[in-house]
Amino acid sequence: MEDKAQLLLDGAKGFRSLAEALELAAEVLRTQDLKNLLGQKDIQPDLFEAQDSPTIQEPPKDENPLSLIDVRKILAEKSRDGHTDQVRLLLQKYGADKLSAIDPSHYRNLADEAFCLGVTLEDLKSAVDAITSKDKADQLPAIYEHHYATCLENLKPEYYPGFLRDIRRLADE
């Protein structure tokens, strides 16, 4: 009986230690900038917030911003089309495990990128060719750099949707 009591006391001490560690972690997250906690390479910069690149302009402010419901419909459709894992990764890219935790100012980028889920390398080649024919090829290096690549061949598949989103925006300028 005494062994069971000692086991329970040890378990309680373990839970107390775990609770203290979680409180400390929560305090660190609350007071620290997330970019300081993660390495710079762990956070993909927002291409359209970059101030140091004169070739890329911020898209015009949307007069009719997307709502949570609008984005949820888009993501649900992509999930039904078989892109559930990619939808989850996309949410994580924007810093959340669920859509409701994402800052509404990111809804347009998220939706535009979601529309591009399922894109293939051939789709990207066509989009790049279209940009080249519009004499905007000089702006491609900035987009490649933003997606950690120098050409289509070394562009990682998880960056395909964002790359196509950025190419489409460049084409629409």
Give 62's pLDDT tier (boundaries 50, 70, 90). low
**Nearest Cα to Cα of residue 46 among 99, 105, 115:** 105
Burial class (CB in 10 A: 0-12, 13-18, 19+), 26: exposed
Percent of the chain with pLDDT over 90: 42
Where along the chain do its domains lie? 1-40, 44-172
- Distance in angstroms (rounded) separating the CA atoms of residues 74 and 91: 13
- Output the pLDDT for position 66: 87
In sequence order, the 6+-apart residues with CB closer than 8 A to the CB of 127 are 164, 167, 168, 171
Task: Enter the DSSP assignment of 80.
Answer: I
Average pLDDT over residues 131-140: 86
- Output the pLDDT for position 61: 59
Mean pLDDT of the chain: 80
- Output the pLDDT for position 23: 76
Tens-place pLDDT, residues 13-56:
777 777 777 777 777 666 665 555 555 445 555 555 544 444 44
62: tokens are 């949307």
Most confident of the following: 30-34, 152-156, 169-173:
152-156
- Output the pLDDT for position 53: 44
Q: Has residue 134 got a pLDDT over 90?
A: no
